[in-house]
């Protein structure tokens, strides 16, 4: 039965991919990728020869109908993003919604995503959590921070290295300087770092030198 598969891919270490993900990527009629060059490197690593077509946030709206049409005509399509699980702070949701509307079978494979290892590594309670992803950069940022200052469950944020310090400063302001948090950097890669401490300690640590790499911030909820 033709369908759409959302296929998670490694967030750094190329060994972090499931047997099923590899099989689906091999067997699909078409692979849709955020960055075709990056995906071709991954496919080459696993000896997969596939047709890879671009599907990213800039063309997602325009290509929806074409992709749905292809699946309806009998093709099985696998969607991947640059890293981790499609739809999690990455393109995927719009296509998934369109397929569901059209009665097409959709399946997201379990697999890599950055926020789960960051959450568990943090040592902060992970029985309940709020995945916040990227905070808005400008409009709505302060309002959201104010709302989150009352949040009682553990919060998980994605952040870019050049915004990390400013965000930690704002977290100190809205959540309090003594709030426990953890910054996970470069998960699964050679220079992986999981730095735990209060927000003030983390601000001091990451203020010492230029921060590089990909980052997840985990913050304890309000007591």
What is the binding site for ligand SAM (CB under 6 A)? 11-12, 81, 83-85, 88-90, 113-115, 158-160, 184, 186-189, 214-216
Give the containing element (helix H, strand E) for 129: strand 129-134
Give the containing element (helix H, strand E) for 113: none
Toward ligand SAM, which CB reaches closer, 77 or 114? Answer: 114
Burial of 62 (0-12, 13-18, 19+ CB in 10 A): exposed
Nearest approach, Cβ of residue 196 and ligand SAM (Å)? 15
Toward ligand SAM, which CB reaches closer, 131 or 174? Answer: 131
Instruction: Find tokens 């750094």 and name the residue.
Output: 12
CA torsion through residues 1, 27, 36, 215, sign: positive
Instruction: Find tokens 């596939």 and name the residue.
Output: 50
Nearest to 199, CA basis, from 217, 216, 215: 217
Toward ligand SAM, which CB reaches closer, 85 or 180? Answer: 85
Instruction: Find tokens 């059209």 and name the residue.
Output: 102
Nearest approach, Cβ of residue 72 and ligand SAM (Å)? 27
Toward ligand SAM, which CB reaches closer, 69 or 134? Answer: 134
Toward ligand SAM, which CB reaches closer, 161 or 176? Answer: 161
Nearest approach, Cβ of residue 31 and ligand SAM (Å)? 16
Tokens linked to 23: 């099989």
Nearest approach, Cβ of residue 103 and ligand SAM (Å)? 26
Nearest approach, Cβ of residue 93 and ligand SAM (Å)? 11
């Amino acid at each position: 039965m033709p369908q759409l598969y959302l296929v998670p891919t490694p967030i750094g270490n190329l060994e972090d991919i499931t047997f099923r993900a590899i099989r689906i990527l091999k067997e699909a009629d078409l692979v849709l990728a955020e960055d075709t060059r990056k995906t071709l490197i991954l496919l080459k690593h696993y000896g997969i020869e596939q047709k890879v077509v671009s599907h990213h946030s800039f063309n997602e709206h325009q290509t929806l109908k074409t992709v749905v049409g292809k699946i309806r005509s009998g093709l099985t399509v696998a969607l991947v993003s640059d890293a981790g699980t499609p739809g999690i702070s990455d393109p995927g949701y719009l296509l998934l919604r369109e397929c569901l509307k059209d009665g097409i079978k959709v399946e997201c494979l379990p697999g890599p995503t950055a926020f789960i290892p960051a959450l568990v590594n943090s040592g902060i309670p992970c029985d309940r959590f709020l995945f916040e992803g990227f905070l808005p950069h400008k409009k709505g940022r302060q309002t959201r921070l104010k709302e989150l200052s009352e949040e009682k469950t553990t919060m998980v944020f994605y952040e870019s290295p050049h915004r990390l310090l400013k965000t930690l400063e704002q977290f100190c302001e809205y959540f309090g300087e003594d709030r426990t948090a953890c910054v996970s950097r470069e998960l699964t890669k050679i220079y992986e770092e999981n730095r735990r401490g209060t927000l003030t300690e983390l601000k001091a640590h990451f203020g010492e030198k230029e921060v590089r790499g990909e980052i997840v911030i985990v913050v304890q909820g309000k007591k």
